[in-house]
Structure 1
């Protein structure tokens, strides 16, 4: 935490303390008469930047620092109450809940309403808009209003600062999300470069077009005001046999456009329980909406497959899942890549919404020859009797297979105290790959 950030926190927490005490003493006064925070006088910090970018008004600033308080000054609300009411007493208008481990008062929407509207019922009604889905703080996922207990008022739900913003304000960094039901995806990276990716010319050009979109679409929309003219986001299908470079391409697109790539774990997303798959996907898309992430759905057939005729309730809800996906894909502002081994397995409704369909063909002779050359690690060499042209012509295998063969051969060479790939080891490695695929060698 920088010194400037620390001073900024002191300022806003002291302001909140002053504001709460003022409200407890003057429940009927208008918020216009409340102590005001001069956000321009705050030291430079990420909190100040957010206030400026979202153009928050005084009430919204008060709500923001109220939900920040439990993370920095957990005793603040209790302290304020004790200052004004040292003999104690019930304060239902203040709202708030007690956590399981947190010993202070956790603010609810009722707490925020009391802070900005006091006991004025008309004013409280007018302030409800601060907690609907279109409000600046909620629409931008800065805060969230938790569901209240069954049969209790909506505003009794806890008001929470998003964990990412909490970390961002306090530490200056957002921790990488971990694979879970809440976030069914994991980050993928690569140490390889574009030079290591072997594709035919047509596929390579389509990937260049994707890279161009990633680099320039934001400029097109913001500087040339094309948001209303062109759809947000980019949806593309990578299709072709396994081992032809689909995952590596997604990783390289992220690497060379400075974006994180998250591969969605479909086993975590898909649920046999009705409605759960949609909930899992909603969490994923909500988390990714304001990030510069690339979402990569590997083996997408499992969830983006063809809809079926409705014969029973299961078919009905399976089709609803596909329809929900169509809606979220249309709304997502970033790049979404679906990968499938078979294009025909993807529902036709998705095909119409893809900006591009990129076919990753099995490598031909020239691509295989290049792969055999590129996959050989530095300092290793092929034995003189190995003719790579003959190997490339004879064995019709993918880049993933060639990588597996080379890995096997290098280990065998090291076991023989050598850095030479022999014909015997190469043949043995090829046989292993053919056996795995249940093919005749």
Structure 2
């Protein structure tokens, strides 16, 4: 049995189902009873779906109807042509045509026709199965496209999650591309906790987040805390640039098996009324049920916008923050806000945080450790280079020290001299001060 066998069998099953319903409607047969779908246990998406989900015939048929145009285009047109060779309208079947796709696209009305015919109660059951409250909608498997005001709700297209189609076709789901529709990029690091020198208090608080990620499912499900505790975890990382906020988020993901996505708030926030909410909605809809870590870098751009309402702009800015608060509080994964200063974050959101973690400028002993661990072993140090002296004299962040190290390493290779003395090191440090507009 190949990995495509279940897909082929499922497509054949739903095609026979639609054909049987059309034969009944056009009087070719008096009754049609769909045969049960028999799947083979393999690693295909359909095989896992049927095995892992307690899928009824209705839900499975809805899913396959939505998948037909993606996996077997033209089936509906071919079946209709057998009964209506001259063409014509068939409003009972519903359906629509796409802007670039010329074949039949099933709608909610199509699902009602195939699964219930003209039976009113059966049609209501199909509509109920497609509602946002049922598991197909809750799990973002399948939904009916929203329609314009005044049009029947079930006249919207059946939309299947694109990731399902991608996995069926390619065997895997890639990371979503960074775009206006998905304003976040996947971030990861080859580094480890041993490569990051943090204040002990900061590291201890991050360890608490690791504990939440590891034990949250047990706490919520087995210990019955779901009805008392809101889903998800919300944390604020605050401190100067270069103190390890982003790297800590990446390491949290690396060591807990979670994907980390950095949200670009400049792509999220729009000057057009209502667009910010749409951008945020697309982001959270994509992340829902995946347990991604969402890292909002430079969170001040949105989370500090709430002000007294003086004009229409203030009113809508406050609405944007209120909407974001709502979506973050309902998100079942980890959300991290990053800011240079704690005071920049709106108090209304701070009260909703489980953790507020400082990332201070490294102290002298921590700077010494960073210098010692960061500098390449291939570069020999002259006798006048003392890391403890350098650490005591220069109050630099981890990112500053890395920049200095990078510059020194390149210069050592360019000069074909794998040794550095204090004068060369001080020159590189002075260059870093100048870059940041500081005086050495």
- TM-score scaled to structure 1, two decimals? 0.94
Aligned counterpart, 2:64: 65
Give the paired residue count. 436
Q: How many Å separate the matches in 1 of 2:218 and 2:243? A: 32
Aligned residue among 6, 27, 52 for 1:8: 6
Contact 1:16/1:66 (CA < 8 Å) preserved in 2? yes
Matches within 5 A, 1:22-41: 22-27=20-25, 34-41=32-39
SS of residue paired to 2:214:
helix
Indicate how the Cα distance of structure 1 residues 387 and 439 shifts in structure 2: closer, same or farther if over 3 A, else same: same
2:158 alignment counterpart: 159
Q: Is the 8 A contact 2:24 2:32 kept in 1?
A: no
Question: Higher mean Cα deviation, 250-259 or 151-160?
Answer: 151-160
Alignment-derived partner of residue 144 in structure 1: 143
1:222-281 superposed Cα distances (whole Å, 9 cap, x missing partner): 333332232211000001111110001001111111111000011100001111111111
Q: Secondary structure at the match of 1:160?
A: strand
Deviation of 1:43 after TM superposition, in Å, equals 4.3
Where 1:336 maps in the other structure, the secondary structure is strand
Query: 2:287 is matched with which residue?
Result: 288
Residue 351 of structure 1 deviates from its aligned partner by: 1.0
Structure-1 residue corresponding to 2:15: 17
Q: 8 Å contact 1:13–1:73 — kept in the other structure? A: yes
DSSP-derived class of the 2:4 partner: helix
Counterpart of 1:240 in structure 2 is 239
Offset of residue 72 of structure 1:
1.4
Does the 8 A contact of 1:412 with 1:425 survive in 2? no
Task: Show structure 1 runs of 5+ residues with no match.
Answer: none
Decide whether the 8 Å contact of 1:7 with 1:43 is kept in 2: no
Aligned twin of 1:305: 304
Q: Is the 8 A contact 2:58 2:126 kept in 1?
A: no
Query: How far has the Cα of 1:302 moved from its partner?
Result: 0.5
- Aligned residue in 2 for 1:227: 226
In structure 2, what is the Cα distance between the partners aligned to 1:378 and 1:130?
63
In 1, are the aligned partners of 2:384 and 2:422 still within 8 Å (CA)? yes
User: What is the aligned partner in structure 2 of residue 415 from structure 1?
Assistant: 414
- SS of residue in 1 equivalent to 2:172: coil
Deviations along 1:123-170, one digit per CA (max 9) or x if unpaired, are 324432123211221221112322335654322221121110111233
Tell me the C-alpha RMSD between the 2 structures. Answer: 1.9
Once the two structures are superposed, residues 331-364 of structure 1 have per-residue CA deviations (whole angstroms, 9 ceiling, x without a partner) of: 1000000000010010111111111110011101
Return closer, same or farther for 1:99/1:399 CA change in 2, 3 Å cut-off: same
Distance in 2 separating the partners of 1:326 and 1:315: 17
The change in CA–CA distance for 1:330 and 1:28 in structure 2 (over 3 A counts) is farther
Q: Assess if the C-alpha contact under 8 Å between 1:237 and 1:338 holds in 2.
A: yes
1:249-268 equivalence runs, <5 A: 249-268=248-267
Distance 1:53 1:27, change over 3 A: farther
Where do 5+ consecutive residues of structure 2 fail to align?
Answer: none
Map of 2:423 onto structure 1: 424
Instruction: Determine helix, strand or coil for the equivalent of 1:5.
Output: coil
**Residue correspondence of structure 1 range 336-347 to structure 2 within 5 A:** 336-347=335-346
Matched with 1:352 is 351
- Indicate conservation of the 8 Å contact 2:11/2:72, yes or no: yes
Residues 6-15 or 266-275, more deviating? 6-15
* Cα distance in structure 2, aligned partners of 1:318 and 1:149: 26
- Residue 423 of structure 1: CA displacement? 2.1
- Tell whether 2:211 aligns with 1:212: yes
